[in-house]
Amino acid sequence: MKKVLIILALLAVVSFASDPRLAVLGGDARLLVDDYLEMWAYPGVIGDYEFVTGSSETAGSDSDGWFGIVDGLGGNAYGVTINHNNYSHEILFSPGGWGAILSMDFDKYPDEDETVKDMAVGLAWGTDVPFLADYSDLAFAVGYDNETRDFEENSRTVNNMMFGASLRGHGDDFFNLFPIISAGFNSHNVDDYDDSSISTTTINFDFGAGRNKKVGDQTNLVLGVFGALQSTSHSGDYPEGATPDSEMWIDVPRVSGGVEQEIGKWLVFRAGAASTSTYYKNGDFNQFTHDFETNFGVGLHWDNFIMDATITEGFLHDGPYMVGGTDNGFMGSLAATYNF
C-alpha cells in the first residue's frame, strides 16, 4: 500500500526537498525554514520558492530518488515532482497567499492467477493566519489509498482514508517556532477473500516547540521538543475473543535537531540527532523504550547551486576502502538543487 500524504506529528519521516539536510537535522520538516522542504509540511509557502532539484538515495533504499521543479509564471507558482514521497507525480500550485499539492499514483500488476491494482491520491492545502504568534502556518491534508487483489473469482480490498492538520507559529522568543501542533486520523479497512472485514482506527496528536536560528555568524541551530500521543483500536470479523487489544504510544518527550557550521564560503558541515522516549501499552502489556540516533552530513554551495549529502555510517565508523568496495562510500543520500 502507498502511504497517502498526511500532515501528522510523524510528518518528519517523509522525504523531500533537500532530503539529506532534513535527515541530518533531526528528520522533522516542521522545524525547517528558508528551505523549500517546508512546503510539503505547509503548502502555503509554495510561492516563496523557485527551484529545480534532483535526489538520489542510498544503495539500500527502496526509492530510486526523485525530481522536482517549481517556478513562477504570471504571478502564480507552478510545480511538478516525479517519483516523490511514494507518488508517481505531484502537482503544486500557489496564486499567492495559499498553496496546494495534489499527489497521485496508480499501479497495476497482472499475472496468471492474480491482478493487483493500487491507487493513491492526496491533497494538501495551506495558508498563513495572523494568530497565536506573529503569524502561523496552517495546513490541512486528506488522502485515500485503495489496493485490490483479484484472485480467480474472489477479491481482497484494503482501503485507507486519512485526514490531518498542522499549525506552526512564528515568533521572536527562544523557541521561535511555537506552538507546533499536529493531529491526524487514519481509518484502515480490509475486506478479505472470505468476505470477512476488519477495521483499524488510529488517532495521532502532538504538541511542541521549535527553534531555528543563527547562534553565531556561521552557526545555525535547529531544535524541536514534542510530546506525542497515538491511539489505535481494532474491530471487525475476528474469531471470538481474538480481537486485538487497543494500543497506545506516548512519546515523553521526542527531541530532535542539529547544528550547521559554515566552513569557508562554500562548505557546510552538519551534525544532528533524534531521541525518543516512548511508553507503549497493549492490553495488560506495557513497556518503556528509548531510541537514539545521530547523523552527519555536508553541504556544498556555489552561488545558487547547492549539493547536500549525508555521510555514511560505515565511512564514519570504519573509514573508506582504499581499493575497491562499495559499503564504506563517503556520501549516502545526495540532493542537488538550483534556486532560480
| Share above pLDDT 70 across residues of the chain, in percent, rounded to a whole number | 87
- Number of domains present in the structure of the chain: 1
pLDDT tens across 25-67, in order? 998 999 999 999 899 999 999 999 999 999 887 555 556 789 9
Average pLDDT over residues 75-91: 93
Residue 256 has pLDDT above 50, yes or no: yes
Residues contacting residue 11 through CB under 8 Å, at least 6 positions apart: 28, 29, 30, 41, 166, 182
pLDDT at site 60: 54
Residue 240 has pLDDT above 50, yes or no: yes
What DSSP string describes 192-223?
A: -TTS-EEEEEEEEEEEEEEEEEEEETTEEEEE
Average pLDDT over residues 162-182: 94
pLDDT at site 273: 95
Three-state SS at 246? coil
Burial 275-305 (b: 16+ CB within 10 A, else e): ebebeeeeeeeeeeeeeeeebbbbbeeeeee
Rounded to an integer, what distance in angstroms lies between the CA atom of residue 92 and that of residue 70? 8
Helix or strand holding residue 21 (H, E): helix 19-24
Q: How many CB atoms lie within 10 A of CB 114?
A: 14
Query: Max alpha carbon distance in the chain (Å)?
Result: 68
pLDDT at site 242: 83
Full residue range of the structural domain in which residue 325 is found:
9-339
In a domain, 173, yes or no: yes
In a domain, 109, yes or no: yes
CB-CB contact of 273 with 293 (8 Å): yes
In a domain, 187, yes or no: yes
In a domain, 39, yes or no: yes
Average pLDDT over residues 172-189: 94
Q: In the numeric block, which cell numbers belong to residue 29?
A: 520538516
Among 56-65, 192-201, 211-220, 304-313, whose mean pLDDT is lowest? Answer: 56-65
Q: What is the CA radius of gyration of the chain?
A: 21
Rounded to an integer, what distance in angstroms lies between the CA atom of residue 51 and that of residue 27? 22
Q: Any bridge partners for residue 291, and if so which?
A: 276
Rounded to an integer, what distance in angstroms lies between the CA atom of residue 313 and that of residue 323? 19
Q: 114 or 146, which is more confident?
A: 146
In a domain, 139, yes or no: yes
Burial class of residue 99 in the structure, from the number of CB atoms within 10 Å of its CB (0-12 exposed, 13-18 middle, 19+ buried): buried
Rounded to an integer, what distance in angstroms lies between the CA atom of residue 106 and that of residue 83? 12
In a domain, 4, yes or no: no
In a domain, 1, yes or no: no
pLDDT at site 7: 37
Q: Any bridge partners for residue 153, and if so which?
A: none
pLDDT at site 85: 84
Residue 230 has pLDDT above 60, yes or no: yes
- Mean confidence (pLDDT) of the chain: 87
In a domain, 2, yes or no: no
pLDDT at site 2: 40
Residue 164 has pLDDT above 70, yes or no: yes
Rounded to an integer, what distance in angstroms lies between the CA atom of residue 203 and that of residue 184? 6
CATH at residue 189: 2.40.160
pLDDT tens across 30-41, in order? 999 999 989 999
pLDDT tens across 283-314, in order? 899 999 999 999 999 999 999 999 999 887 65
